[in-house]
Amino acid sequence: MCGVFLCARYTKDDSSSLSDLCGRLKHVNAARGPDSQDTRRISVTGSDDVIALDLFASELRLRGNGPVVQPHEQDGNVFCWNGEIFDGMDIALQENDGVKLFHALNGLNTVDEVSDLFGSIEGPYAFVYYHAASQRLFFARDPLGRRSLLIHRPSLKNPYFLLASVCAGSDSSCEFQELETEYIYCLELRDLLNGQSMTTNFDSSFISFPRNSAAGLYTQPSRVNTALPPNDWPLITGLETPDYLTQTVDDLINHLNQSVELRVRNIPQSSGGIGTARLAVLFSGGIDSTVLAFLAHKHVPFDEPIDLLNVAFENPRKVKLGTVGNITKGQKKPQKPVVNPLPLYMVPDRVTGLQELEELRRLCPRVWNFVEVNVPYEESQAAYPAVESCMFPGRTVMDLSLALALYFASSGKGLVRDHSNADPVQYTSPARVLLNGLGSDELLGGYGRHRTAYVTGGWESVIEELQLEIDRIPSRNLGRDDRVISSHGKETRHPFLSLSLVSFLAGLPVHLKMDPRAETGLGDKMLLRLAAKKMGLVEASSRKKRAMQFGSHSARMEGEKRGDISI
């Protein structure tokens, strides 16, 4: 995980206010990469103008054996990289993927070659690359938008061009938007050197190059299979895998296991030293996070802890209603009492998290640090300015409730217990890599709207809805989540959103993934539930979907508000 920032402007437009803005943006992007930060300044000179480029990058080193300082620079070319390459490029254990990718870029000369290179690699990324010979500036996000990159286009009021992984919140000096993911973008700097204003010339110099799907495996998410089930397709009645689904269940386990392995292996030792956790899971006790924790266990040394980050909020409205600690509709009653001297934080996700902790301990002997991240009401309120700044340009009530949960969970600060009856001790997770289960609902039919689609329009409507889910992934939550989590110098990885796994799941006929005719907790994400049961995760396999903001009680602290209302 790294922070990327670029400012391009005519030198005649330099001002103290712009300098102050750049200072603020460098500061917030430095938090994403605490290991090193640096800036390169380049002057692009024409007959009438000089364009100054400031390229800044911070580094959270998670690949390679040696220290890495960004921006990368060679022969006048400059590269700022915020990403991870998990497939498509052979990277040895001791190598850094950003360094190797930069070397590959330096051997290219055309726009198509640049586009083809990025179409051949799989992983989350955002980058900025200045090619000196052509005076071109390339930049893009990966096709699923798993890394944030914000863009400010020149205006009459603010006549400069900015790119940043994260901004400093709402600011009259800039109008940031999320960069779209469909294209590789190029700014022809030489075309701006004609004596006119950057605002006048910008649109004609700003070029969007479609990703060449014929040249690479990883240019765009796959389309959903439109095959319909036979009229006599059997109704799923339980979580014992029927013969006709055995191979598909095995294939899902293998694909997901490989995705997890690629994302948890070879993580550098944390600052806590040998024997401390290098990996954490954003853990609610739901099926998604539990399956990821179970598979991560297979690929992390058994003598090393894995941290399970479980967040709970003091919610005055819930406390007043007396619902904290109660069993919610559809939630199983614990087989034995959960011992916890902090009933204020026994929110639904804490209850299910503790239940799944016991299941993991039975199936996967190791140290599981269940980190109780307890957030007092006053503390959550005091964090609003910082969280709103990170999540910007997200500005809705739902953005805030989700961002709050991620902000505190990813801090890793909480309590741990050796066993359920033990006294808690203060603990801060040293893990820099966090696994996130986002993506399974979109790919496997886990939302209530998928069942509604079936009721209103049959299997055809379900297929249409699943395609919309994939189409919306790049523009919904990922950029916001990346900005919030990375403010703690942590990196989130999404095993369900490997483009390889997305391709596998999108290619399956819909009736092999879900059965909207069956009851909730069975037909939704049916294929994942069957896989979890086959792996031995009996309790997790039947757990019903619960949104993070409601499971943690980060939402609706003051009363009922629609999630799409602006804050």
3-state DSSP assignment of residue 398: helix
Cis omega (within 30 of 0) for bond into 393:
yes
Cis omega (within 30 of 0) for bond into 71:
yes
Supply φ then ψ for residue 372, to 5 degrees.
-80, 100
Answer yes or no: are the C-beta atoms of 390 and 166 closer than 8 Å.
Answer: yes
User: Measured between alpha carbons, how far apart are the two ends of the chain, in Å?
Assistant: 29
What is the C-alpha separation between 361 and 285, in angstroms, rounded? 13
DSSP assignment, residue 152?
E
Catalytic hit among 2, 22, 80, 390? 2
DSSP letter string, 334-381 = PSSPPP-S-GGG--HHHHHHHHHHHHHHHHS-S-EEEEEEEE-HHHHH
| Number of other residues whose CB lies within 10 A of the CB of residue 153 | 17
Amino acid at 51: I
Is 2 a residue of the active site?
Answer: yes
Residue 299, C-beta contacts closer than 8 angstroms, at least 6 positions apart: 260, 261, 264, 265
State the Rg of the chain over Cα: 24
Answer yes or no: are the C-beta atoms of 436 and 478 closer than 8 Å.
Answer: no
Answer yes or no: are the C-beta atoms of 51 and 9 closer than 8 Å.
Answer: yes
Rounded to the nearest 10 degrees, the angle between the axes of helix 384-391 and helix 478-486 is 130
CA-wise closest residue to 548 among 337, 356, 389, 399: 399
DSSP letter string, 520-558 = TTTSTTHHHHHHHHHTT-HHHHTPPP--HHHHTT-S-SS
3-state DSSP assignment of residue 242: coil
Task: Report the DSSP beta bridge partners of residue 566.
Answer: 396
Chain-centroid distance, C-alpha 87: 18
What is the C-alpha separation between 551 and 165, in angstroms, rounded? 29
Catalytic residues: 2
